[in-house]
Structure 1
Amino acid sequence: MPYTEEDGGLINNFAVEPKVYKAEAPTKKQQRNYLILGVMAAILVGGLFFVAFSVS
């Protein structure tokens, strides 16, 4: 485990860093799924606002 020792004898432990990798762009299917989920979320929030205003 990597660590450093300071002048007073204190030891600082550092976590092991994960490997860095480049993110991949979403595929067309993933983009379509994100769009569908976004529309569904907007409808849900709109419906909740409608219900909240109608009962108040």
Structure 2
Amino acid sequence: MYTTTNEEGILNNYATEPEIYYAAYPSDEQQSRYAFQGAVATLLVTALILFACGVS
């Protein structure tokens, strides 16, 4: 932790910054998994909406 003191004796604490890194582009397997998860989520939300409309 980095600490400074101003003229009046007030302390300022600064957190250490993490190292910056760039994300890697997802592989073909990850992309297909994301597409499958999106399809399942879409079906789930659609089923919930249709069920709610049917009950009401």
Could you say which TM-score interval applies, normalised by the shorter chain? over 0.9
For 1:11-50, what aligned pairs fall within 5 Å after superposition? 11-50=11-50
- Per the normalisation by structure 1, the TM-score is 0.92
* Gapped regions of structure 2 (runs ≥ 5): none
- Per the normalisation by structure 2, the TM-score is 0.92
Identity %: 39
Give the counterpart letter for 1:24 in structure 2: A
Aligned residues: 56
Give the counterpart letter for 1:48 in structure 2: L
Deviation at 1:16, TM superposition (A): 1.2
